[in-house]
Structure 1
């Protein structure tokens, strides 16, 4: 059991996508439903917000201290210095009822982004790899809700379709991006919660948010559950290591799918929690697209 070192009372409807920028000592995250991008300056504790171009669903680091934002209308380059967005590309042109969700950069600088339907949990989403030259390749299809995308040592990756409640491990071909050899990493089908966003620490352990479960579950590389971090909000969405030494953990939460009584009783739902969990994270790669 850990107590948070800080709680940011930002009261998000659907907080997601925490991202630590080691170049500027700033933490970024989004409220997907309210189309808002947040920034926390670690040294001053100042918070800034900007409107997103559309429903958000993924963040990554870009060169020149800029941020890659994935939204329902495509990928954008965002400059925190100017507050301006520049459209880059869209992996799913012609599919306006889908939105982008769960983006991460792999060690080679490729940006990976999932997609999902906004009309319900339909198997109409995909997982794409965008290369540094802007080439788009679909690596998985038939996805309901893409989540828990983490790149592991030895050319492996974990990924979940939250609707199916199973986290899988794949072998990743670093040259083509092809995902093969799927096997179960963790099975949540018997749980009331669903696996959401995830991050790896420097020891190779995986920290996975359990939406509806009020916790972060920690697994070793073999998928064995080691321990948990409890929160006072059930809708736990994602997490990221942060701080200059990457020894803090930022956890996003939501009010999404809470009834009226749950919203009244869970007064801290939708806040951002920061813990010092006794583990260190890994520096996020910079996307080269």
Structure 2
């Protein structure tokens, strides 16, 4: 069940690289990118990734997007995004080869963040006034996107055009605030089911395409589940990052698996992460 014991202060952004057959994930607050084989340190915060090629990733960083070479460890700036008080948070490639990512205040300042999309050299700020952007994911056919502001507890859904840009206004698709749940990262499986890590609840909850709750996978000993991803040779392993953030010494003792990365085999079948087109 525990995939990796390296404890992350704020684990996020798991990505199964389909060409390498390897999982990557981040410890945002410790400015680190992990893989199964090694770790890389950065001067600023890094939080999410899409794959460009076997050896190149597009990373959401503190100041925007960077191209990262896994072989050499070199960084190449791609585009700037956000302000001096923000950092990146959740992000994922869409089915059209674009990359969505969120920014938020480094001190979680209310409404300081935004949700962005980078596509074939163009960056657009899609939504502003966001406090904690999360749950960025896409329907299997690429015709809709989900996202949330965790502080509000509502998962939104917006239709996309053929190029992957929003078409119309987002609508509330899943209201978790009523249940006191905090939606964090999310991924959609091959059947169109929405898998959502829920901060503070120690679980990843699964909802049907209609938003109806189906079941949940718990992360024992780690209440702050932060983001899921499907991977493994047949894409039937659910990987889940967790966090130590906001836990005092007593809480860390009571929840010894916090910050570690989980793996649950045979939960569902995911979809390969789309390649980012540059």
Checking the alignment, whether the CA contact within 8 Å between 2:101 and 2:136 is kept in structure 1 is no
Partners of 2:276 and 2:172 in 1: CA distance: 28
Q: Which residue of 1 aligns with 2:155?
A: 167
Structure 2 residue corresponding to 1:267, chosen from 238, 241, 256: 256
- Tell me the number of residue pairs that the alignment of Structure 1 and Structure 2 aligns: 276
3-state SS in 2 of match to 1:229: strand
Partners of 2:277 and 2:42 in 1: CA distance: 22
- Per-residue displacement from partner, 1:80-117 (whole Å, max 9, x unpaired)? 1112222211123xx11111121111111111111111
Checking the alignment, whether the CA contact within 8 Å between 2:66 and 2:76 is kept in structure 1 is yes
Q: Which residue of 2 aligns with 1:12?
A: 8
- Per-residue displacement from partner, 1:42-101 (whole Å, max 9, x unpaired)? xxxxx3001023111211111243111111122111111112222211123xx1111112
3-state SS in 1 of match to 2:250: helix
Q: Which residue of 2 aligns with 1:44?
A: none
Partners of 1:215 and 1:176 in 2: CA distance: 30
Most deviating of 226-235 and 121-130: 121-130
**1:37 and 2:33 correspond:** yes
**1:210 and 2:198 correspond:** yes
Q: Which residue of 2 aligns with 1:245?
A: 234
Quote the offset at 1:259 in angstroms. 2.2
Structure 2 residue corresponding to 1:147, chosen from 122, 134, 142: 134
The 5-angstrom pairing of residues 1-289 of structure 1 reads 4=1, 6-40=2-36, 47-92=37-82, 95-132=83-120, 134-152=121-139, 153=141, 155-175=143-163, 177-232=165-220, 233-289=222-278
Normalised by the length of structure 2, the TM-score is: 0.95
Quote the offset at 1:181 in angstroms. 4.0
Quote the offset at 1:176 in angstroms. 6.8
**Given the superposition, is the C-alpha separation of residues 220 and 176 from structure 1 closer, same or farther in structure 2, using an over 3 Å criterion?**
closer
Partners of 2:273 and 2:20 in 1: CA distance: 13
Quote the offset at 1:20 in angstroms. 0.4
- Per-residue displacement from partner, 1:1-52 (whole Å, max 9, x unpaired)? xxx2x43111111000000001011100000000010011xxxxxx300102
Q: Which runs of 5+ in 1 are unaligned?
A: 41-46
Checking the alignment, whether the CA contact within 8 Å between 2:206 and 2:214 is kept in structure 1 is yes
Q: Which runs of 5+ in 2 are unaligned?
A: none
- Per-residue displacement from partner, 1:248-280 (whole Å, max 9, x unpaired)? 111000011112211111111110011114311
Q: Which residue of 2 aligns with 1:43?
A: none
Partners of 1:191 and 1:64 in 2: CA distance: 42
RMSD: 1.5
